[in-house]
Chain A
Amino acid sequence: MEPVVEIRGVRKQFGGLTALERVDLEIRAGEIFALLGPNGAGKTTLISIIAGLLRATEGEVRVLGKDVVRDYRHTRRAIGLVPQEINFDPFFTVEETLRIQAGYFGVELREERLVEILRALDLLGKRTVNSRALSGGMKRRLLIGKALVHDPKVLFLDEPTAGVDVELRRSLWEYVRTLRARGTTVVLTTHYLEEAEELADRVGVIDRGRLLALEGKDELLRRHGAKTLRLVLDVPRAEVPPSLAALGGKLEEGGAAVAVEVPAGEGFGPVLRAAAAAGLGVKDVETRRTTLEDVFVRLLAGGQARGGR
């Protein structure tokens, strides 16, 4: 299947600062793609180039096979962008704001579609309220509404849930899933690793303008992740029994527990057998799976070591 977005050798220079260094990336149709990276990594720069807010210094970006600079009218119709910074026009109400944005895209916003968007974003009761009078969370939801009025094929969400409370975040995630189910491709940048872990099919990790990893979330977790078995002992020990030490076991809490990490794809069988063979008295057993956050931190540390920072 043809990718929805193709990024080839994109570089972006702001004066002496290189914000992106030859990034190659493809976004597939119908996926939720999460772009992760610390502040200043180049996430917003990259999606701004795709959406036409910035121009690449070098390289090429295609959306639905069309160049975003030469065929900008075509590509922008396919894109919805929810910017990171909240903006609002204090002259207009929620409904007017949505109708104006639809008009820019050459779309007459039908009543049913307007109501659907307002309902999905929990703004139906605010339809005739001036956008100035909305709370921060509502203003952010209105931004999402504006990005959806023309029914885009790809929706870019730049830090969509920053400053949004937990309940609303969950309902936005649900809506993102609904959009995907309808065939919308979703690209999101986020600081909340939990968000990417919850939503994303594929993950790109970016740091200092370079793409450090690009793969399915599950593969990423399997390849870079690990799981840990922690045995809480009935009697503290001074050292790890040799059978567990051979598997990489380490003492924790001053000898009150032994923890053994195994690759994400392997089982705990050998660890349990080694513990039984060593005659360990076990009071409790805990397991812990590496989160996307752990993988992210590890990748960044590796990338920085290679990059010499």
Chain B
Amino acid sequence: MISLGLRTLFVKEVRRFLRVPGQTLLSPLVTTTLYFVVFGYSLGARLADVEGVPYARFIVPGLVTLGVVTNAYLNSASSLFVMKLQGTMVDLLVSPLSYGEVLAGFLGAAVVRGVLVGGVMWLVAGAFGGFELAHPLAAVALLVLVAVVFAALGVVTAIWASTFEQVNFFPTFFITPLTFLGGVFYSIEMLPPALRRLTALNPIFYMVDGVRFGMLGISDAAPWVGAAMLVVLAAISVGGAYAMLRSGYKLRG
């Protein structure tokens, strides 16, 4: 049974990002379109197929994953951090909402935004490279798990951060590099052995690879590896965010 308190927080968080669609939905749409125009359409035509898939189609799962990762993270991180800055966090802290409900409200809305943006990107990508969903359930389940992981990391960062710079630290120095080096634009088969071994340590590689299996039916690693890793990462990140909320760290003095 979902309480009225949790429903209120979730709906409020969803309405918050829907009220600024230019920033939350349109902006990723423009970025994706640019990626496809540059990498898929213009360069892709000159590139050979990757693992038997045209390049413009090969990059779709990675870009969709990137969109989900970024938007899920940004939604929970920026919303919670701005609430801290504006002082509206007090409204939640004095409420009888349980720690689990507060976390679920933020994660739920962030997952909705992440998956919504991912879906829109997939539609745009489909317009360029054709629609394909080899294992739709696997693709959606993996993307939801990706969103949960990064939404929870957004909560952790927002609680810890004291400045906007610190909120942006994680996407700038971890998410973007690890995603770009995680096989969004190439198959690791194309890398020299040393770099391939390094990529094997990058958790985002398994996420992209798993989603690619879901969408295109091809993958570099076994798809269950990505799924298992996501479940473990989700448990760690959600558990960490819950523990922080429960401890009152940086929220309840």
Contact = CB atoms under 8 A, between A and B. Distances in A.
Contact of B96 (A54, A72, A88): A72
Nearest to B93: A53
A90 B95 CA distance: 20
A71 to B, nearest CB: 10
Interface string B64-104: 00000000000000000001001110111111111000000
A90 B19 CA distance: 11
Contacts of A73: 96, 98
B8 A104 contact: yes
A87 B253 contact: no
Contact of B3 (A52, A55, A106, A108): A106
Contact of B90 (A72, A74, A83, A106): A83
In this complex, the interface size class of chain B, counting residues with CB under 8 Å from chain A, is 20 to 34
A104 B252 contact: no
Contacts of A105: 5, 95-96
B9 A88 contact: no
A146 B87 CA distance: 14
Nearest to A102: B8
A88 B91 contact: no
A53 B5 contact: no
Interface in B131-174: none
**For A14, A73, A86, A106, which residue has the most chain B Cβ atoms within 10 angstroms?**
A106
Given A54-B252, A73-B98, A91-B19, A104 B9 contact: yes
A64 to B, nearest CB: 13
Interface string B11-32: 0100110011000000000000
Interface of B: 3-5, 7-9, 12, 15-16, 19-20, 83, 86-88, 90-98, 248, 252-253
Minimum-distance CB pairs A-B, first 3: A103-B8, A87-B87, A104-B95
12 contacts: A77-B96, A88-B88, A89-B88, A90-B86, A91-B16, A91-B19, A103-B8, A104-B92, A104-B96, A105-B96, A106-B4, A106-B5
